[in-house]
Amino acid sequence: VLAFDGVVLGDLSTPCEVFGRVRRPDGSRPYDVRVCSARPTVASRHVGLRVPERLGFVSRAQTVVVPGIEDLQHPVPGELLAAIRSAVNRGARVASVCSGAFVLAQTGALDGLRATTHWMGADELARRHPSIAVDPNVLYVDNGQIVTSAGATAAFDLCLHLVRTDMGAAVAADVARAVVMPLERMGGQAQFIVRDVAVEQTSLGSVLMWIEAHLDRDLSLHEMARHAGMSTRTLSRRFRDQLGTTPAQWIAAARIRRARSLLETMDTSVEDVATRCGFGSATVLRQHFAALVGTTPLAYRRAFWHGARTP
């Protein structure tokens, strides 16, 4: 992970946290995360940092992360660009976060590729580098060797995506839990993952959408498998391999998302919400709600209500 004067602190710390917490099933750590900079200390907006590794270490990295810069007008040191460029040339994987795409673009590594960056900077990036196809509407763009991601929190998605391609979905799901990935993305992996071409092409993409559309039904593993055209055993395996969860857990998370949405906008009883989400009873809803959201349905409604009250 590169550091430099004017680095965006969150973009720097997120890869450290995510990759640093990854564990294989046997407990070992697949990633050795190092922060590298030209000089031993760098200044970020709110803090000063003492950085353990120099840029020379970049030549040993398999993956190089380029965090965002606070000021797009500030010139990027040549030695930093040189380190990135040589990493690209020897085939290392290079990923930019947020405005880090501007740094990466200056090395020429993005020329002719699709890329993304913070949406506020998308136009500027396209203006400075006309040969880059800038897409501001995605969380990240994976070109294989070169990866770019959008604003701050998309760094989580980028890192988890890389962990998933390296280590598989189960390991990625574990680390997502460890860093307390927001429920929206974690439980609702439909939105997060259906966008992902690799997964969308597999059989699960359509099954997940079918499930989402029939959440209120009593979905048994059997029924889902029949609809998916595979055995229950294979379906379970698919969930573990591609989503890192079990069918039942995934459905529960999807139902809770639906429940939250209903609680925010509809003034009906918890019992009714439970029925509409496919939970057998309000008790079951409360149990899952506590486990996934951390509160009770009514407390959640009190905090997040934004519908029209109907007497």
Partner DNA sequence: AAAGCTACCCGCCAAT
Partner DNA sequence: TGATTGGCGGGTAGCT
- Please state, in angstroms and rounded to a whole number, the distance separating the CA atoms of residues 152 and 10: 7
**Gap between the Cα atoms of 234 and 142, Å rounded:** 28
Using CB under 7 A, pick the residue from 240, 264, 275, 276 that binds DNA. Answer: 240
User: How near is the Cβ of 219 to DNA at its closest, in Å?
Assistant: 7
93 lies in the site for DNA, by CB under 7 A = no
Residue placing its CB nearer to DNA in the complex, 140 or 239: 239
* Residue 24 near DNA by CB under 7 A: no
Ramachandran area for residue 108 (φ above 0: left; ψ -120 to 50: alpha; else beta): left
Q: Quick one: which segment of 36-44, 86-94, 136-144, 239-247 binds DNA (CB under 7 A)?
A: 239-247
**230 is a site residue for DNA (CB under 7 A):** yes
Least distance between DNA and beta carbon 233 (Å): 4
Rule CB under 7 A: say whether 217 interacts with DNA: no
Judged by CB under 7 A, the residue of 13, 249, 275, 296 near DNA is 249
Chain centroid to Cα 151, Å, comes to 11
Binding of DNA by 143 (CB under 7 A): no
Could you tell me how many residues of this chain bind DNA (CB under 7 A)? 22
Are 268 and 198 a contacting pair, CB within 8 Å? no
Element (H, E) at 146: strand 146-149
Q: Helix or strand or coil: residue 242? A: helix
The separation between the first and the last C-alpha atoms of the chain, rounded to the nearest angstrom, is 56
Q: What is the DSSP string of 260-311?
A: HHHHHH----HHHHHHHHT-SSHHHHHHHHHHHTSS-HHHHHHHH--S----
Contacting residue, 206, 281, 302, 304, with DNA by CB under 7 A: 281
Q: For residue 296, which phi and psi values (nearest 5 degrees)?
A: -95, 155
Written as six digits, the tokens of 8 are: 């965006």
Residue 43 binds DNA (CB under 7 A) = no
| Closer residue to DNA in complex, CB, 131/283 | 283
Residue 202 interacts with DNA (CB under 7 A): yes or no = no
Q: Which residues bind DNA (CB under 7 A)?
A: 220-222, 230-234, 236-237, 240, 246-249, 252, 280-281, 283-284, 287-288
